[in-house]
């Protein structure tokens, strides 16, 4: 199997004042390259911690996490930044675009941090074309609708050709019609480009559209429910 994500016994412990909180307990699973997975669970189930760990924003307290062949559990901050830059694309619930920059500028950002200067503009333009925003490239975020802003965010997430795209409630701030459009865009990108897609959501309708659902409960995999949403 060609695994893009291998997680072995991931454990994450926080100190909440005096108390130790285990956000993840010995979670192990693999995700295949090109797969489309949703992570579900009630609030407090460790969903966000899981996303932060898989997105290399945070390190697990123990356990091993291998992303696209690189073991990231022991990396330092700058190495993590580099891995995020090359291998992870993020789509956030609240878009998180920089209001000073144009759509093009926002999409160019990951390329800037990758140190790419040649062909940067062209790659960003291509990404924006891929999400259907060819004629909105020089607009700033406040000149765009919510759906268009999220499209810019999707373009930004795929401009570096990452191994995985992490989408955290990508439709959470959008009405159902626009949300559906964004989901269709993500599905199409997964299908056409074969980009591995991980969607963190609490919406069963979203989860239904993915190939597999990873359910979390109290920081552990909810194995009984794991393959319910699978449609292949």
Partner 1 sequence: MSFTQAIFEALESLNGNKMRSGLTVLGIVIGVAAVIAMLAVGNGAQASITGSISSIGTNLLFVFSGSADGPPGGPGSGRSGNNDRPLTLSDADALKDPFAAPSVELVAPAIQGNGTLTFAGENSTTTISGVTPDYAIVRNMELAEGEFINQENILGRMSVVVLGPESAIAIFGHADGVVGETIRIEGQPFRVIGVTVAKGGGAFGSEDNAAYIPFTTAQARLIKRGVRDEVDVIFIQAVSAEAVPSASEEVSNIIRQRHRTPIGIDDFTVFTQQDFLSTFATITGVLTIFLGGIAGISLLVGGIGIINIMLVSVTERTREIGLRKALGARKKDILLQFLTESSLLSLIGGIIGIMFGWLIAFVVGKVATATGNNFTPIVGTDAIILSTSFSAIIGLFFGIYPASRAANLEPVEALRYE
Q: Please state the closest distance from residue 210 (CB atom) to partner 1, in A.
A: 22
Residue 112: its H or E element = helix 103-113
Comparing CB distances to partner 1, the nearer of 3 and 113 is: 113
Q: Please state the closest distance from residue 81 (CB atom) to partner 1, in A.
A: 5
Q: Please state the closest distance from residue 177 (CB atom) to partner 1, in A.
A: 27
Q: Please state the closest distance from residue 8 (CB atom) to partner 1, in A.
A: 22
Question: 185 vs 22, 150, 199, CA distance in Å?
Answer: 35, 10, 13
Is residue 81 close enough to count as binding partner 1 by CB under 8 A? yes
Comparing CB distances to partner 1, the nearer of 117 and 224 is: 117
Describe the strand order of the beta sheet including 36-40 as a list of residue ranges. 88-91, 164-168, 196-200, 36-40, 212-217, 220-221
Q: Please state the closest distance from residue 40 (CB atom) to partner 1, in A.
A: 20
Question: 69 vs 29, 75, 131, 158, 163, CA distance in Å?
Answer: 15, 14, 29, 19, 10
Is residue 70 close enough to count as binding partner 1 by CB under 8 A? no
Is residue 220 close enough to count as binding partner 1 by CB under 8 A? no
Segment lying near partner 1 (by CB under 8 A), choices 90-98, 184-192, 210-218, 221-229: 90-98
Site for partner 1 in 1-30 (CB under 8 A): none
Residues 89, 157 contacting (CB under 8 angstroms): yes
Is residue 57 close enough to count as binding partner 1 by CB under 8 A? yes
Is residue 78 close enough to count as binding partner 1 by CB under 8 A? yes
List, in order, residues 6 or more apart from 53 with CB less than 8 Å away: 10, 12, 24, 59, 60, 65
- Torsion angles phi and psi, residue 146, rounded to 5: -60, -45
Site for partner 1 in 101-160 (CB under 8 A): 101, 109-110, 112-115, 117, 156, 160
What SS3 class is residue 65?
strand
* Residues of the shown chain interacting with partner 1 in the complex, contacts defined by CB under 8 A: 52, 55, 57-58, 77-78, 81-82, 84-86, 90, 92, 96, 98, 100-101, 109-110, 112-115, 117, 156, 160
């Amino acid at each position: 199997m060609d695994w893009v994500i291998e997680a072995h016994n991931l454990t994450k412990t926080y100190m909440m004042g005096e108390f130790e909180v285990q956000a993840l307990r010995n979670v192990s699973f693999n995700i295949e390259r090109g797969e489309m997975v949703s992570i579900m669970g009630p609030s407090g189930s460790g969903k966000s911690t899981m996303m932060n760990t898989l997105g290399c924003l945070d390190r697990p307290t123990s356990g091993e996490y291998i992303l696209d062949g690189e073991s990231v559990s022991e990396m330092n901050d700058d190495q993590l930044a580099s891995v995020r830059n090359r291998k992870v694309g993020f789509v956030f619930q609240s878009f998180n675009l920089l209001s000073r920059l144009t759509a093009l500028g926002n999409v160019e950002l990951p390329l800037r941090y990758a140190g790419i200067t040649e062909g940067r503009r062209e790659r960003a333009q291509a990404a924006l074309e891929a999400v259907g925003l060819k004629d909105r490239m020089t607009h700033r975020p406040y000149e765009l609708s919510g759906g268009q802003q999220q499209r810019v965010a999707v373009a930004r997430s795929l401009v570096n050709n990452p191994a995985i795209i992490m989408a955290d409630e990508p439709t959470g701030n959008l009405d159902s019609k626009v949300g559906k459009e964004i989901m269709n865009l993500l599905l199409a990108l997964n299908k056409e480009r074969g980009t591995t897609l991980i969607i963190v959501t609490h919406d069963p309708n979203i989860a239904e559209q993915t190939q597999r659902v990873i359910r979390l409960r109290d920081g552990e995999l909810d194995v009984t429910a794991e393959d319910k949403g699978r449609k292949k």
